[in-house]
Amino acid sequence: MNARVLALDIGTKTIGIAVSDPLGWFARPVRTIRRASWAADLEALGQVLQELAVNQLIVGLPLGNNGEMTQQAEYSRKAAEKIQATFPEVSITFVDESLSTQEGYSSLRATGMKRKKRKEVIDQQAAVIFLQEYLDERRRQAPHG
Which CATH number fits the domain that encloses residue 97?
A: 3.30.420.140
Percent of the chain with pLDDT over 70: 88
**In the predicted structure, residue 20 carries a pLDDT above the cut 90:** yes
3-state secondary structure the chain: CCCEEEEEEECCCEEEEEEECCCCCCEEEEEEEECCCHHHHHHHHHHHHHHHCEEEEEEEECCCCCCCCCHHHHHHHHHHHHHHHHCCCCEEEEEECCCHHHHHHHHHHHCCCCHHHHHHHHHHHHHHHHHHHHHHHHHHHCCCC
pLDDT digits (tens, 9 = 90+) for 107-117: 767 777 677 77
Give tens-digit pLDDT for 79-118.
999 999 999 999 999 998 876 667 766 776 777 767 777 6
Count the domains in the chain.
Answer: 1
pLDDT at 3: 78
The whole domain housing 82 covers: 4-141
